[in-house]
Amino acid sequence: MERKSFASMDCSVAQCLEVVGEWWSMLIVRDAFLGVTRFDDFHSRLGISRNILQQRLTRLVEAGVLQRVRYSEHPLRYDYKLTDKGRDLWPVLTAMRQWGDRYAAPSGPPVRIRHKACGQLTEAMLVCKACGKSLGPRDVEAVGRQLHRTGRPRAAGARDAELPAAAPVAPAG
């Protein structure tokens, strides 16, 4: 199946997928958060073919998620380290891990997160930057530039039918 490009879609989710939506990309980012920096270490941990790994690393470097840092002249070798842009994927990776723990880990979470400040096992949660209250799908509404259902900006003066409100999500429990 040929990969679709989202480069022309005016949607932040699509643009994120354009950078890290390919198979293996988020697993490379995950390993980078775990301290993996060398090509051979990514290769052995992931079991990915060398050519696909090289393509994904190159793409992540081009997108500014990773940077190549030379650590050997002879032979020429590089570390792959997270940039600020890459470190900003932490909440995305954390949300994916927590979703996987809940819905795709029948034996329980393979990894737990401990908060260094208090020493407790924890899960991340979204909170409002302004007031500190918890954020869930029923606590927010989309505001701003209106888009067509296609994801493209509307033509000047054009009107869309109102998009239906999101259905309430039952609380987990």
Tell me: the pLDDT tens digits for 44-63? 999 999 999 999 999 999 99
What's the Cα-to-Cα distance from 76 to each of 51, 58, 121, 144, rounded to whole Å? 17, 16, 41, 48
What does the pLDDT average to over 25-53? 97
Contact 57, 66 (CB under 8 A): yes
- Report how far residue 161's alpha carbon sits from residue 159's, in angstroms, rounded to the nearest whole number: 7
- Both tokens of residue 12? 């932040």
What is the pTM for the complete model shown? 0.77
Answer with the residue of higher pLDDT: 155 or 9.
9
- pLDDT of 9 reads 81
User: Please, which pLDDT band fits residue 84 given cuts at 50, 70 and 90?
Assistant: very high
* Three-state SS letters, 115-150: CCCCCCEECCCCECCCCCCECCHHHCCCCCCCECCC
End-to-end CA gap in the chain: 38
What is the dihedral sign for C-alpha 144, 147, 153, 155? negative
- pLDDT of 170 reads 45
Going along the chain from its start, the domains and CATH numbers come out as 12-112 (1.10.10.10)
Residue 171 has pLDDT above 80, yes or no: no
- pLDDT of 160 reads 43
What's the Cα-to-Cα distance from 86 to each of 3, 61, 115, 127, 128, rounded to whole Å? 22, 10, 21, 21, 22
Residue 166 has pLDDT above 50, yes or no: no
- Both tokens of residue 57? 């690393």
- pLDDT of 158 reads 47
Contact 67, 83 (CB under 8 A): yes
Burial group, residue 78, by CB count within 10 angstroms (0-12, 13-18, 19+): middle
What's the Cα-to-Cα distance from 146 to each of 11, 143, 149, rounded to whole Å? 11, 8, 10
